[in-house]
Structures are given as structure tokens and as C-alpha cells.
Amino acid sequence: MGRRMRIENLRLEIRSREPSGWLAAVAAPMADLATSGAYPLRLAIVDFVDDRAIVEATVVRTESGERGFAPRIEDIELIAPRRKTHASPPMTVVQVVPTGIRCEFGGYAGDACPATNLLAAAADFVVAHPNAVNASDLNEMAGNVLYVEGKSLDDFLLGRLALRRTTANRIGTFIDPTGSAYIDDVENALNAARAVGGIDCGLHTVLRREIGARIEWSEKGCAVGTIEHPEAILEAVERLIAEGAEAVGGVSVIHGVSGEMFQQHLSGLIPNPSGGVEAIITHLVSRIHRIPTAHAPLPYYQDVKGKDVRNPRASAEFISTPHYYSVLKGLSKAPAVVPLTDLDSAPAQTLTVNNVAAVVMPADCLGGIPALAAEFSGIPLIAVRENETILNVTNEKMGFENVIEVESYLEASGVLLALKQGISLESLRRPLGRGRRIALDALALS
């Protein structure tokens, strides 16, 4: 089987903000790339040079005339976003903790879960992606946290998907044959989830070929990556769906992580090396198959990382071999993703961008799709300064008008409570300024 799809990591320069907003500015080069068969899986503004914004993007290219899975990615959501039209209950908050950029909260296994649960206590629902809550064999997300893969989360904020809450999903699992020595560990995780958690997750398959997942580093120092044989994943997921899977998880070996890299990550010097390529895997599954999905790395590190206690935030990485139970727990009740023809035709009992009252994310990485979509729809963007990353894409550089900067997630939860109760934020700050009088001199009377 020839390579019909290939993954590429690109660096682009774009003009600073368009009059119509940052989303339009980022979409323009993506539309140009689409003419050569490229679909953007991930992208973000990561830096500024003079009057140019630097965009790093991961795209999937398909061969000209390829029919296979290519027709499923001809429509680029970023080019035709749908703006939030009105505010609708229940109050839904989106929690974003990007992977691959060394977040202080969320840069390790599940260490953003307490912050996510705190936000959930101040909202009706929190939509969070797996990176915010997955922690190897632990997943302690609150009952009102909706587990939504990052690409689906982006498309949800762009008004292209709705979320339908579910009681339980039948989960299928694909296994990279590179990790065949650990298949018993994976099956034990599946059977433990069935026997103890009551999760329907017995369906699994070993891929017909190794996927060749490999880490890469972007010029900015972000963890990205590539996949040698993406079709192997997509074909297996299609088969699992045909057998009745309603959500799909995967475990695969990720190549290229050195012992030195892992020690630097453990010391907080660099991002998690494997986070970027895992996101590429799940973004691809999300976009092609429109199904809840998440991923865990098989032990690529037996001769790379030993057990270590110096960084409590990384401790969950040392208590499991397949790191997979957190995925199973998240997917067991993950909402179904429902493609929309328009926002007005969303099925009953689903959530759309019209339900989103706020987006919460680190204050120095405001160049990703969630932030751009929030600006596009006028959704309050709560920027948390304490969650520092390797980037410096702050609101000082982006110039959004919808940003509420806070110091911590403790403060962010207070902002959400005020929004939920309809309390003006300015009334909670001092000094309290005077009101503004409007002159009626120039009022035209008809």
C-alpha cells in the first residue's frame, strides 16, 4: 500500500490582524494551502517578528485524485466559521490547556485536573480536552466535565459541531504493533476497566502495520511530530466503528524520545516530547471519523525513563505501563460530536457555541484556534497568567477586546461565578469609576 496521506509541519508568516479579526488572517493562508491538497490539523500563532505573525501548523496532505479518506477533509472549518448568535443555557465553559508548549498547569500527566474541576464547580458544564485531565491510570474529572478531543473542541467553537451528552459509549481500541510486547498490559487495562469500572471496552484490534509515530520539535521549541502511515490508523478506526464502537482510543509507540529529553522535561525545561504527535493522531481520527477519541503512549521509554519522585506533577506517568485507563474513563461518557449544517438547525438537547459563556486558557498562548474563535464570536476569554508556557503570545500582542486577565485559576473561577450570576465584573473591583453620560445633541429625529 502506497502512502496516500502524509503529515507535514509548516512555519508560515502572516500579516498582523486583519480588519475582520485574527481568525480571517489565519484562515487566508490555509485556504491557499487547500488548493494543493493540504488540510490544517493543528495551528497556532506562536510568535511575532516586526509586523508579521509566525504561525506553526501541522497539515495532512493527500495525493491528487485520491478518493479514500481525502473527500472527508475537503471542507476546512477554519475558512467558514459560524459566529455565536445568542447566549443560551446551560452555561458552558471551555477549558483549554494546549499540549506541547510546557504549560505550568497541564504540562504533565493530568496536573490541570484540579483546576478543571474548580472551573466546573462554577459552571453547568466544562468542555475540556483529554490533555487537561488524562493522568495515566487516573482521571478524576468532575461529572459535569465533557471530554472532547482537541480538534472537535476547535470545530465546536467554530460553530461547526454540536455535542450530544451520552450515558455510556462502547469503546474500541487500536494498538500499534510496534508495541506488541505490551499487548497483555493493554488487554489487562481493558479488562480491568470492564470488571471494575463497568466500561464497555472489550473491542480492540492490532493495526496491520506500524504507524511510525515520531516526535519533532518546531523552530519555536514546541513539541510536534509526524506519522509515517496515518491510513493504518484510519482504516482500523473505520473497522472498529463498523463493529459498533461509539468512541475510539489508541495506544502506540512514539519514537525519538531520548533519555536526555525526558530528563529535561521532568525538570520543567522543555515540553512533554510526545504530546504533539499524540495530538496529531487524535486530531486526524476526530476529523475523518467524527467520533470521540483519545490516545496514550505505549512504553517507548523502557531504556529512557526510570522511576523518579522529584516532580510530583509527573508522578502519574510512573504508575502504569499502558497509561490507558484515563482514556477509557474519559471516553466512556464522552459526548457524541454532531456535524452541523448551521447553528439554527442544531438538534434538540445538544450543546453548541451558543451555549459557551467563556473560554479559559493560559495568558501567553492566545494564538490558537480556541482564542481566535472566542474573539470571532465575542466570547469572554479568561486568560490565566499563572499558567505560563514557552510562548509569549499575550493579549498585549494580539489586541483582543474580549480578554479578562486573571492571575490564577482561583480567580478565574470567581469570574465564572460572577458571569453565571450576572454580576458586573467592574462592580467587584476598586476603584469603581463613574458612569458615562451620553450627549443627545446630535440625535437625528425623523
Q: What is the residue extent of each domain of the chain? A: 5-77
Q: What is the pLDDT of residues 247-266, one digit of tens each?
A: 999 999 999 998 888 889 88
Instruction: Flag whether pLDDT at 1 surpasses 50.
Output: no
How far is Cα 189 from Cα 195, in angstroms, rounded to an integer? Answer: 10
- pTM here? 0.94
Residues 111-115 have a mean pLDDT of 96
Cell for 6?
502524509
> Which of 35-49, 61-75, 406-420 has the highest average model confidence (pLDDT)?
406-420
What was the pLDDT predicted at 307? 63
Q: CA distances (Å), 430 to each of 238, 425, 427, 434, 437, in order?
A: 57, 10, 8, 12, 20
Closest CA to 159 of 234, 88, 71: 88
Contact criterion met (CB below 8 Å) for 213 and 255: yes
Question: 255-287 burial string, b = 16+ CB within 10 Å, else e?
Answer: bbbeeebbeebbeeebbbbbbbbbbbbbbbbbb
Confidence of residue 2 (pLDDT cuts 50, 70, 90): very low
Higher per-residue pLDDT: 2 or 92: 92
Alpha-carbon dihedral 30, 34, 37, 42, rounded to 10 degrees = 30
What was the pLDDT predicted at 19? 74
Instruction: Flag whether pLDDT at 3 surpasses 60.
Output: no
How far is Cα 331 from Cα 327, in angstroms, rounded to an integer? Answer: 6
How far is Cα 326 from Cα 315, in angstroms, rounded to an integer? Answer: 14
What was the pLDDT predicted at 313? 65
How far is Cα 64 from Cα 58, in angstroms, rounded to an integer? Answer: 19
How far is Cα 218 from Cα 204, in angstroms, rounded to an integer? Answer: 33
Higher per-residue pLDDT: 306 or 220: 220
What was the pLDDT predicted at 63? 73
Share of residues in the chain with pLDDT > 70 (%): 93
Residues 127-151 have a mean pLDDT of 96
Confidence of residue 357 (pLDDT cuts 50, 70, 90): very high
- Neighbouring residues of 372: CB distance < 8 A, sequence distance ≥ 6: 21, 22, 23, 26
Residues 3-32 have a mean pLDDT of 88
Cis peptide upstream of residue 40 (ω within 30 degrees of 0) = no
Instruction: Flag whether pLDDT at 446 surpasses 60.
Output: no
Residues 225-231 have a mean pLDDT of 95
Residues 114-120 have a mean pLDDT of 98
Q: CA distances (Å), 114 to each of 118, 132, 409, in order?
A: 6, 9, 10
Residue recorded with cell 518546531: 218
- Neighbouring residues of 56: CB distance < 8 A, sequence distance ≥ 6: 9, 10, 11, 12, 43, 44, 46, 218, 219, 220, 222, 224
| DSSP letter, residue 255 | E
How far is Cα 172 from Cα 201, in angstroms, rounded to an integer? Answer: 6
What was the pLDDT predicted at 245? 98
Helix (H) or strand (E) holding 163: strand 161-164
Residues 298-309 have a mean pLDDT of 63
Share of residues in the chain with pLDDT > 90 (%): 78
